[in-house]
A and B are shown apart, each in its own frame.
Chain A
Amino acid sequence: MTKPIIPIDPKGLDDVADALLKGETIPGTDDRKPSPARIKNPNTYLILPGKIHGSYSYPDLLVPTSRTHLNENWDQCFQGVVQEGSLMLTPRQYADFLAYLKGGRVYDGSGSRVDSGKITAILDDILTVRSPYRAEWLDAKFSKGEIPVVRETWNITYHKIKSDGTLEKVTEPLQECLRDNKLPGIDLDYWLGHATQQGLPPKNNSSGNVYYWHPKDGAVAGFVANSGGARLDCDGDPTGSDAGLGVRAAKIKR
């Protein structure tokens, strides 16, 4: 039997103990708020909790509720967000962001719970098949390996967040993932629940109605929705631009 590591007055803990015994919600703990972010207009951001995916991890992020840098190509967008001290979401972070929104328990940058109506509106903007064209760049470029030894190799280039908050460009082999176009499509929830460490759908992603273009040499990633469908596009042309195509300029939560 070990002693507690902090002094705790046992008086008044009976209710908490009862709840633990019965598996009930503990009084006062049902809606724990994250700490507010030190940022201007915090309620225009959502707090995406940091995650660890195998050897890849990232800290708590602030993801804006809307896209900016519209009508810019991939490189312009990337340079723009970096210059303002922000970052472009990687496919892994984007998959986590969508899963977070679909989970329903979302907090804005001030630490306040976001009401379900607002979450639905954000998801609608991202996913619903309708006009107009809405799209956002993701931080991933794909390339064919230079020296095919036994079989063709593929790389992904993206940016990791270092412990001091700066970005590090990383090029690494593309992990095993779905390497066929699915038109349509892949099951969104399966992708979000089983995405690879790099954020792409797994090889055995179950079928659904989200279009999927698999990685091609020189292409970049993005997510698109319009009247023709919603799609995860890993065959994006980095030079393209559109009035509806932008980026979520995310920030590290501090």
Chain B
Amino acid sequence: MSNLTEQQKVQTLYKIIGDRGFYVSSNFDVFTKQPEEVSLAAGAGYKIHLAQLDSKVYASPLLFATLTSLLHHGTMLITGAPGIGKTTGAEFAGHFFSNTPLDEILAAEIQGHPQLTEEKMVASFDLGKLVSSGERVVIPNRFLECPVKILDEGNRTPPDVLSIIMRLVDTGKAVYGGQLLTANPGPLFVTANYADEGTFHFTPPFLDRFDVAVMVTSPQPWDLTRIRERGDEKLNGNGKSLERLLEVPSDLKLDTDKIRKEIKAMNPEVKHEVDEVGSFADFLYASLRYSEAASHSLVRATKGNAWQVDQDNAPAGHFTDSPFNYTVNELSVRTAKALQRYARAYAWLNGKDQVELEDVKAVAPYLLWHKLQPTSKALAENSVYANDRIDFVRDLIGKVEAEHAEMMGSEAKNIYGAALGILRTGKHKGKNLDPDQLRTVAKNAIRKLGDVDKPYAIMLASHVAAEYNSRINGTQ
């Protein structure tokens, strides 16, 4: 019986994957604490990050493969140049963190190509029964049944074929022959090379179904030695040495149910009914949602409704420097939910008692970069954002954070708080207010918030109005 906590076991397995040469990368890009930046190349703009003494560092591909493997149904897109370990990393993370033998993962793995069929991806009919008795018995295929699902080189599959597994990626469910099939819980990894002549574009709705995405970077030269030391299967075959390396020490077997319960229990601190993590995540969602081009009605003024004139080809609006100007599209509800899920898992992995704002900020770039399309304004400010979307999202979050800080220090917050407090209870200083007084409060609050020339004030005023209108609904 192991004395290690589940979190310690995961950290140990994480180290083992690197030590045994399965995923070697010192391209550290996730830091649990803001690292120190040291300039180099004579101040040419390059900076090296040095971790704080009491922090942890991770390479995002393995970190997110780990977190994805621990969740009930995590989905991860792994992009990068060919031959740098995209698929291998997913296979080994799946093996070590999902209690699934590597052979089983490899047998269930699907290779993307233009002729991929539903039968290969999801299920097929039992041909024997179909021929002998005409009975249509659906047999789920190995891909669906394996806890670790890998679709390798997914973008070599045309979008119409991929749409078949859209629901599978999203919910872990698939339909074949009119029968709803539920995949075994576990991670789903899709790898994709950068575009070449044999690839297709993933559609935005398909991309949105991936909780997280990473850009795998080729190993640093000093990491190649450790990769070579693992052995050369093409020279020697897999043999016993690989079997030994793949062994998971008995005291490190994971209890995934327990882990998921522990992650679920990573509740954030709640202040005045609101958790700061959820509040910031929602503010981020709201900050990117607004679109002046979509509609004069605030109910429809969202990027999702800017379907003819989008953020990129709209004339300049009233708010030119607000964060919403930097993305063509908005975030989906599933992204808002994934943010909290991954932030909790990340906080858990780092041994915290509760998820904090820093955890959301650490994971957010990897949960958003593949979904958010930068506007020409963003690219004009920094053309590198066209390639490095992770940096784009990181900088964008910085802008959102600045607006959030401004809102939290503003009088608008107090107007909103006072109005909402009255409208929710119908009382002021313990006394019931009559309908006219409630209307006066709502109206004055909206007017006062209207004087604040910021998108966040529009959001707060809209909430005051919604609360008042809901109240009217409830009293009729």
Contact = CB atoms under 8 A, between A and B. Distances in A.
A41 interface: no
Interface string B282-318: 1100100000100010000000000000011111111
Contact of B320 (A1, A12, A19, A60): A60
Contacts of B451: 29, 32
A14 B408 CA distance: 18
Nearest to B318: A50
Contacts of B380: 164-165
Contacts of B316: 50, 57-59, 160-163, 165, 252
Contacts of A150: none
A240 interface: no
A163 B433 CA distance: 46
A52 B318 contact: yes
Interface of A is mostly: loop
B15 interface: no
A243 interface: no
Contact of B421 (A7, A10, A23, A252): A10
A124 B186 CA distance: 74
A3 B273 contact: yes
A2 B414 contact: no
Interface string B439-476: 01100110010011100000110010011001000000
A61 to B, nearest CB: 10
Contacts of A6: 274, 279, 283, 407-408, 413, 416-417
B317 A59 contact: yes
A51 interface: yes
B429 A20 contact: no
A59 B324 CA distance: 14
28 contacts: A2-B424, A2-B466, A2-B467, A4-B272, A4-B273, A5-B274, A5-B282, A6-B279, A6-B407, A6-B417, A7-B272, A7-B274, A10-B421, A13-B418, A16-B417, A20-B440, A21-B444, A26-B411, A50-B318, A59-B317, A60-B318, A60-B320, A160-B315, A160-B316, A163-B315, A163-B320, A164-B377, A165-B316
Interface in B128-157: none
A254 B319 CA distance: 10
Contacts of A34: 453
Contacts of A160: 315-316
Interface in B390-417: 407-408, 411, 413-417
B318 A4 contact: no
A55 B316 CA distance: 11
A253 B318 CA distance: 11
Contacts of A7: 271-274, 276, 279
- Residue of A28, A34, A163 with most partner-chain B CB within 10 A: A163
Interface string A33-51: 0100000000000000111
Interface in A137-168: 160-165, 168
Contacts of A50: 316-320
Given A6-B279, A7-B271, A59-B320, A23 B377 contact: no
